[in-house]
Amino acid sequence: MRKIKLILADHNERSRNTIKELIELDDSMDIVAEAVNGAEVIDQIKNMDPQVVIMDLNLPEIDGLETTRYITLHYPRVSVIIISLNDEIDSIKRAMLAGAREYLVKPVSPLEIHRAVRQVAELGSKLPAGNPENDQPRKQVGSAHQIISIFGTKGGVGKSVICTNLAVTAAREYRSRVGLVDLDIQFGDISIMLNLNPRKTLAELAQEIDEPKVDLLEQYLYERNGVQILAAPNKPELAELVTPMHVKNVLALSRQVFDYTFVDTPSFIDDTTLVALESSDLILLVITLELPAIKNIKKGIEILRSLQLLDRARLVLNRSTGVAGIEPEDVERVLGLRIRAEVPSDGKLVVNSINQGIPFVKMSPRAPISRGILSVMKAVDEG
Ligand SMILES: Nc1ncnc2c1ncn2[C@@H]1O[C@H](COP(=O)(O)OP(=O)(O)OP(=O)(O)O)[C@@H](O)[C@H]1O
Ligand SMILES: [Mg+2]
């Protein structure tokens, strides 16, 4: 039987030895290297190709969280188990957000650590196997840490529906760290769509300090279906607390933390939307096959062109089925842009999903509309 290869990282020799003794009780596990700081951990991963890293949260210099983030990003098949004296939910949440697969509170029992190692090793082995290239995050090439805004110049075309389901799809299909920022700061719908009742929103975050750090941002995130959500203010009048500078800073942080950050926007371009569009790698322009929507999007395209953002825009056709009259080809011709992905109509499923606060990609992953969302995700990855 092949042993599970482990790296043990703890700067305190005594506590390293304690863990070592526990691990040695199980001969299906093998500590192949030890490390006393984050840099050593990374070096040893390169040298030893371990399946599991057991790491104390309080490493000197680059701490356990930062090291975990790096491992998650660059070596996704290596599973991290964090060990800490700290049993606060916040600390556990931060470690999980950084990509740790298990969090054990000291003192750890032999049973507990053996079970954790076995479980996370098995999880890691199920990820795509193979060569060092596969040890990169699946979608890293050309698309790492992307910001994707969902935009449209007409209300009700389906921006928020697409944004929510796209984020959940990215989290599930790519096992990526996904953020969702609701920048429809007056009338944000994301919380309702994801059954969230947030106390902390962009408005409260904006009141804290102008330049938040990762730790602070993380306190404002709510998790639903694998997606970390930064909610829009709870009341329209609080929207004015959120300035373009806040948005810029928040998105810069999100880019650091998440593989994909999806940004829902309102139907008009104000200062905050503009900053979001400028911060985005891709702008998904959502259209429907209705004359007013197409007329409006033409204006939107002109605005993006004048801001020199048009090369980031990708056309997404929503409710592509069930409309007679205007053909997608006509739209492409009029707008001078190719439609990159289509999401069919499914009124019943969408309404059901919104009313229950469960994304339809989760309720009915095989439904044509869910496959449509997958095609949007593919378009995102094609860049
Ligand atoms: N593919 C679809 N099939 C059926 N119904 C849809 C589809 N996409 C959106 N809808 C319907 O359209 C409504 C509006 O969608 P959504 O709230 O996502 O639009 P929006 O562009 O975000 O609007 P706003 O500009 O007001 O924020 C949804 O409540 C849903 O009922
Ligand atoms: Mg919306």
Q: Which of 160, 189, 192 to mutate to test the pocket of ligand 1 (most atoms within 8 A of CB)?
A: 160
**Strand runs labelled E in 154-309:** 178-182, 222-224, 227-230, 260-264, 282-287
Q: Per-residue pLDDT tens for 239-271?
A: 999 999 999 999 999 998 999 999 999 998 888
The answer on pLDDT for 141 being more than 50 is no
Q: Which of 161, 184, 265 to mutate to test the pocket of ligand 1 (most atoms within 8 A of CB)?
A: 161
**Every domain range in the chain assigned CATH 3.40.50.300:** 146-382
Mean pLDDT of 65-83: 90
pLDDT of 131 reads: 38
Q: Which atom of ligand 1 is the closest one to the Cα of 184?
A: 27
Q: Which atom of ligand 1 is the closest one to the Cα of 152?
A: 21
Q: Which of 193, 267, 268, 350 to mutate to test the pocket of ligand 1 (most atoms within 8 A of CB)?
A: 350
Model confidence at 359, in pLDDT bands (50, 70, 90)? very high
Give the CATH H-level superfamily of domain 4-135: Response regulator (3.40.50.2300)
pLDDT of 23 reads: 94
pLDDT of 128 reads: 55
The answer on pLDDT for 307 being more than 90 is no
Model confidence at 140, in pLDDT bands (50, 70, 90)? very low
The answer on pLDDT for 355 being more than 70 is yes
**Every domain range in the chain assigned CATH 3.40.50.2300:** 4-135
Residue nearest to atom 18 of ligand 1 (CA): 158
Of 32, 2, 17, nearest to 118 by C-alpha is: 2
pTM of the model: 0.68
The answer on pLDDT for 91 being more than 60 is yes
Q: Per-residue pLDDT tens for 284-304?
A: 999 999 888 788 888 889 888
Paired residues of 283 in beta bridges: 149, 313
* CATH class label, 146-382: alpha beta
Say how far apart CA 149 and CA 287 lie, in whole Å: 14
pLDDT of 130 reads: 39
**Nearest listed ligand to the Cα of residue 161:** 1
The answer on pLDDT for 210 being more than 80 is no
Residue 99 alpha carbon to ligand 2 centre in Å = 30
Mean pLDDT of 10-38: 93
Say how far apart CA 202 and CA 207 lie, in whole Å: 9
Residue nearest to atom 3 of ligand 1 (CA): 345
pLDDT averaged over the chain? 89
Q: Per-residue pLDDT tens for 115-131?
A: 999 999 988 776 654 33
Residue 16 alpha carbon to ligand 2 centre in Å = 51
